[in-house]
Amino acid sequence: MTAPGTPVQGVTLYSFTRAFHGRRYTFEELVREVARRGLGPGLELVGFQSIKGFPDVDPGFVTRFRSLIDETGLVPTCLSANADAGLRRDRMLTDDELVDYMRPQIAVARELGFPVVRVQISLTPDDMERLLPVAEQYGVRLGLEIHSHQHPRHPRIQALLERYEKLGSPLLGFVPDWGASLRAVPSTLLRKYREAGYDEDLLTGLEELWREHHAEGPPMTEPQHGRWFGQVVELAHRHGAGDRAIEMAVNITGLFGHAPASDWADVLPWAVHTHGKFYEIDADGDEPSVPVRELIGLWVGSGYSGAISSEWEGFHWNDWDDPFEVVAGEQALIRASAAASGSRVIVDPAEARRLVGLPGGRNI
């Protein structure tokens, strides 16, 4: 019988993008604010967002960052790297070029003290196998993010899982993103569209389309997802959405996934980090669009003791809520859900440091 997992509480600075881009905080001030509000101990960064010149990082930044970590007591959990296969205008990057593109991002993670590097779906099973010696060289784990509209049962994810099982290395794994498992369209997005003057028939139509797609189950092919995308664009144009039709289709078919929570069971043994994606916290302290309680029950039951970064993506449209308070609300929900599942969430930095060295609770 698997012992209950004890996930580590944490947050990604991506949750505070609006505040950071609005220059309300410098990078250092933002990290200190996370610590002051007790939103750690886990800390995740997106390299290209938070670090000037990334991945060509000035040694002075490395020194300052490590000092900042010592000062705040936060625990680096994950550095989110990008696998931008479409960097060139004339063609996609070759596998060799993509692997070379990832190498310096992985090296920087080691310099900064991050045990996990989030990578993206552009990387194939062959790419991940070729990156394994790089992960071994720098002593970090690579977690490919399972992000909507991908999902645990998608053929591309299953192909990666098969390769991981063949290689048997704890340095290769996944970063599950809860945005792949929604139960409703976030009400805050509908509020934003309503405030922008779109009629109720359009908003009702967006919800109805999402529910129709939900009934089909998570998309297994790109043509299926493309059909959904086209349906939303056609509906939006019919109601005069104009230039925002594409945005609506990206939100409805790209961000709000349809995978049942139970689908994560197969990949959780390979989870090296988790993105606790959420969009809103209601007056009752629940997340009406993401089944956080059910997901935490599954994570705890699987023995997962890695970090969960609260990742508030509602900032894309929600410009009225305080991001720090919203994140605190989700973290309270996660702690309560873990307690209801017979476990606890780790908030002590010393305990967190011990646990984040373990990929999904397994020694490396």
Active site positions, annotated: 147
**What DSSP letter does each residue of 23-86 carry, written as one string?**
TSS-HHHHHHHHHHTT--SEEEEEHHHHSTTTTS--HHHHHHHHHHHHHH--EEEEEE----TT
b/e string for 92-107 if b means 16 or more Cβ within 10 A? ebeeeebbebbeebbb
Q: At what angle do helices 95-112 and 59-72 cross, to 10 degrees?
A: 50
Provide the token pair at 25: 């905080």
Whether the CB-CB separation of 176 and 265 falls below 8 Å is answered with no
Rounded CA-CA distance 55/57 in Å is 5
Rounded CA-CA distance 44/177 in Å is 14
Beta bridge partners of 241: none
Task: State which amino acid sits at residue 227.
Answer: R
Q: Are strands 141-146 and 172-176 parallel, antiparallel or unpaired?
A: parallel
Segment (H or E) for 157: helix 155-167
DSSP letter, residue 185: -
